[in-house]
Amino acid sequence: MPGKVTKEKVLVYIVRDGKLLVFRHTDYSYEEVGIQVPAGSIRTDETPEAAALGEAREETGLAGLKIVRKLGETTYDLSPYRFEIQHRHVFHLEPTEPTPQRWMSQENHDGEQDPTRLECFWMPLATAHILQSGQGALLGSLFD
């Protein structure tokens, strides 16, 4: 079995009116990728806060976002999908401008691969436990 590498990541909960902003990949089935929230890698020259805002903007297409607070940190083992342990910095964000109920977006991956097409929508926080890959681990911290 290959060794596991640990990667520094951010995970973002964007909340409005008791709902969480989530997305699905339109090129893959729910069975393959599930429902997700914005997340991604922290670059070497980047703070977790800057990475959180950057990933949220890139994946949702929303420019008007602000950090409410850092909720904490968690670790998730992606095996066997990928032999990687993610150390996640989890942030609560909120939109600073109106947003649609549902819209299409895409993640461009800095031009390193084909864009990933995404459908963004708002989900009631009470049902957000269905997030994939342990992404819902700190949802309860929104209420602390």
Angle at 65 between CA 143 and CA 7, to 5 degrees: 75
Break the chain into its structural domains and give their ranges: 5-122
Considering the domain 5-122 in this protein, what is its CATH number?
A: 3.90.79.10
Residue 81 dihedral angles phi and psi, to the nearest 5°? -55, -50
What amino acid is encoded at 20 in this protein?
L
What pTM value is reported for the model?
0.93
Rounded distance between C-alpha atoms, residue 137 and residue 72, angstroms: 10
For the segment 50-105, what is each residue's pLDDT rounded down to a tens digit?
999 999 999 999 999 999 999 999 999 988 888 999 999 999 999 999 999 999 99
| pLDDT bracket for residue 1 (50, 70, 90) | low
Report the pLDDT value the prediction gives residue 77, as an integer from 0 to 100. Answer: 94
